[in-house]
Structure 1
């Protein structure tokens, strides 16, 4: 939030330059922003979209991957349009652009 020192969430990214993608190593919303009584709803979406934007800036075509816990994989697929790629989930190109538009440009 502009003008606030509160940490709403965090993300750790690893750049894979040769493979041309960014891996989300860790993503977490603050405890106040998790569950049914969260203060803000779009924290994870904003963080994922930011990773997608960084991927485009790096010339990776918006390609971002993560290896989720099994119980949350369906959530990433349904809510953020990630695709299954082996052990990882990934997003790229148009789906990444759509996330950026929805979470960062609105």
Structure 2
């Protein structure tokens, strides 16, 4: 899928792609990533990895996401991470996470079964509770996710997911 991300140095849009990633190209801890996508993809059941790359630099992964169907019906975003060079004050690109989350929601529309169609579930897990609360607030405010009770499980529902698709994928 062709999308646009923002180059922060120039504030211009760059053409990018979200595509299925192979096991061999999955980033890992050794590459400076927080999650070992290679290891996770190897062991997760009913999971597919997606990478976001710029069209002009297809070998440089800007972000990665693993989408899973739990019990072959419930759409679940198992892992999401932007590349180390897209984090912090010196990050190179914006909209990477938004594009991947919107794409995961789009997958929930295509692959979710029954009542789970159009619902994207994911968990927020951080070592420190205050970081977890901060991240859940970010997912709520920026990506319209809702927290399920007092758990660290979040979900993006129909109309909020459609808004993400409109903003980040169209």
TM-score, scaled relative to structure 1: 0.88
Q: Deviation at 1:61?
A: 3.1
Tell me whether 69-78 or 25-34 shows the greater mean CA deviation.
Answer: 69-78
Q: Deviation at 1:79?
A: 0.5
Q: Deviations over 1:19-44 (max 9, x none)?
A: x4311111100011011221111111
Residue of structure 2 equivalent to 1:100: 165
RCO comparison, higher one (Cα < 8 Å, 6+) = 1
Residue of structure 1 equivalent to 2:117: 61
Unaligned runs of 5+ in 2: 1-53, 126-131
Unaligned runs of 5+ in 1: none
TM-score, scaled relative to structure 2: 0.57
CA contact (8 A) 2:75 2:111 kept: no
RMSD: 1.5
SS in 2 for 1:38: coil
CA contact (8 A) 1:13 1:25 kept: yes
Q: Deviation at 1:17?
A: 4.8
**Structure 1 residue corresponding to 2:74, chosen from 21, 24, 33:** 21
The structure that is strand-richer by fraction is 2
CA contact (8 A) 1:61 1:92 kept: no
1:48 paired with 2:104, answer: no
* Equivalent pairs, count: 104
Any residues of structure 2 matched to 1:29-40 within 5 Å, and which? 29-40=82-93
1:80 paired with 2:136, answer: no
Runs of 4+ in 1 over 4 A off after TM superposition: none
